Structure 1
Amino acid sequence: MAIQKGDFITLNYTGKFEDGRIFDTTDEELAKKEDIFNPHGLYGGDIVIVGAGHTIEGLDEDLEGKEVGYSGNVVIPPEKAFGPGNPKLVETISITKLKDRNVHPGLPVEVDGRRGVISRVIGRRVTVDFNSPLAGKTVTYEYTIEKVIETAVEKIQGLLALYTGLRDLEVETADGVAKIYIPTGLTFNQRWLMAKNRVASELFKYADLKEVQFIEKITAESETLIPAEPEAKAEEESKAEAESETEESSEPEV
């Protein structure tokens, strides 16, 4: 059966620049070989919802109509990949703003907390491109559609892995209700706090659920069972309040 929008699929892929350099892959060994391995990343295939924007637009569109087991590649222009470069993010600055004065085109630099790459050097001034390294690039994705996910539990676990980086979280489903057991540490994760409403929304839309329950799960092994000492906690709160007052007092008057 052909892949269509709304399908949950397992997708393996490798993304390359036009010169053949690899910038992303679900193949762990290849990532290590190309020196782009992320120890916190998930390898072995991503579970994505076709048409939900979980991959770049050009790849997402190319998935539709393919069969399970399909392997191929697609060339994607910047406007359907990572977007065009923004000329406003290309700035010319004095070399004195750089820690390393031995500059040359292609050198990664950090200026006022922003990361960029030097594109040109003219005398004592340098042009720095603060765009994402992927912006404005035509890219090629080689990919394989491994399978379509059918069960509700696998769909939920796959979506959670995509948003949290954690595989096989405990999930129960019955009568259109999903109970998702969240480790205590995750409840304080900023990424998760921003993503959980989207996870629920996508499960309602694509997994035919009518209710999603996020349940905090605490076990005897949880490090968070040990509360902060009252005095230490009070000291931290006092410090936080003092820092807040300092920041407010330092704001310029209008």
Structure 2
Amino acid sequence: MAIEKGDFIKINYTGKFNEGQIFDTTDEQLAKDNGIYNPRGVYGGDVVIVGSGHTIKGLDEDFVGKDVGYNGTVTIAPEMAFGPHNPALVQTVSVTKLKEQLGDQRPYPGMPVELDGRRGVISQVIGRRIRVDLNHALAGKEVEYEYTIVEKIEDKVAKAQGLLSLYTGMPEIEIEVTDDLIRIYTPIELGFNQRWLVSKLTIAGELIDKLGVPNLEYVEKHPYVPETAEVPEATEAPAEDEEAEATEE
């Protein structure tokens, strides 16, 4: 059966630009061989919901009508990929504005920086003036994707796990799904994951909508840590630490 919008599918892909330079892939070894390996990334395939914007528009639209097992290549224009290069997003600032970020380093073209809360790269250094490009690194570029549709996912738990992995970069999170409730046991380390903190409401909304289950709850899971055999000796609290003394009492 052909892939339609709203389907959960697992894909393997490799993205290229400039006639073959690889910028993204689900193949771990290929990522290492091309110097783009991310130790925090999840390799082996991504789960996406077709038509939900989980990948660039040109690739997302190309999935529709294909069958499971399809393997092919699509060339995507900038407008359907990472957008055209916007000159308004290139700003010139004094080196003083970036002094805290630069520290003892000398600015150079290609150096990643942050300007007014947005990530960019230095495109030019002119004396004590720096030109910062806040466009996506691939803005204005035609890209090519070779991809395979590995499977169409029907199991609700697998759907939820795949979507969570896409957003959090964690491959296995414990999940229970009934007709009335999606229960996600979130490991404690997710509390320090900035991407999770800004995405958890979006994830909940997508899962409730796409799985057709009316309720979702997150349960923070804390592992049991056994007491050690030796208990370290208590140190005397500083005299001025009134709060600590009150707690001991």
TM-score (norm 1): 0.77
**In 1: Cα distance, 2:107 partner to 2:186 partner:** 49
Shift of the 117–12 alpha-carbon distance from structure 1 to 2, 3 Å rule, reads same
Q: What residue identity is the alignment partner of 2:6?
A: G
Q: What residue identity is the alignment partner of 1:108?
A: M
Q: What is residue 123 of structure 2 aligned with on the other side?
A: 118
Q: What is residue 186 of structure 1 aligned with on the other side?
A: 190
Q: Tell me whether 1:86 sits opposite 2:86 in the alignment.
A: yes
**In 1: Cα distance, 2:62 partner to 2:26 partner:** 18
Q: What is residue 76 of structure 1 aligned with on the other side?
A: 76
Q: What residue identity is the alignment partner of 1:193?
A: L
Tell whether the 8 Å contact from 1:90 to 1:131 is kept in structure 2 after alignment.
yes
Note the 1:1-254 alignment, pairs <5 A: 1-92=1-92, 107-108=110-111, 110=113, 115-118=120-123, 128-221=132-225
Q: What is residue 228 of structure 1 aligned with on the other side?
A: none
Q: What residue identity is the alignment partner of 1:116?
A: V
Aligned residues: 223
**In 1: Cα distance, 2:221 partner to 2:126 partner:** 58
Q: List gaps (5 residues or longer) in structure 2.
A: 227-236, 242-249
CA apart distance, 1:111: 7.6
**In 1: Cα distance, 2:158 partner to 2:110 partner:** 44
CA apart distance, 1:48: 0.6
Tell whether the 8 Å contact from 1:78 to 1:138 is kept in structure 2 after alignment.
yes
**In 2: Cα distance, 1:90 partner to 1:10 partner:** 37
Q: Deviations over 1:197-246 (max 9, x none)?
A: 11111112211111111111112149xxxxxxxx89xx9xxxxxxxxxxx
CA apart distance, 1:95: 8.2
Identity score, percent: 54
Tell whether the 8 Å contact from 1:95 to 1:101 is kept in structure 2 after alignment.
no
CA apart distance, 1:27: 0.4
RMSD between superposed Cα atoms in Å: 2.9
Tell whether the 8 Å contact from 1:171 to 1:180 is kept in structure 2 after alignment.
yes
**In 1: Cα distance, 2:152 partner to 2:160 partner:** 13
Q: List gaps (5 residues or longer) in structure 1.
A: 223-230, 236-254
Q: Deviations over 1:127-172 (max 9, x none)?
A: 5533221111111111000001110110011111111111121111
Tell whether the 8 Å contact from 1:28 to 1:37 is kept in structure 2 after alignment.
yes
Secondary structure of the 1:186 match is helix
Shift of the 150–108 alpha-carbon distance from structure 1 to 2, 3 Å rule, reads same
**In 2: Cα distance, 1:21 partner to 1:33 partner:** 12
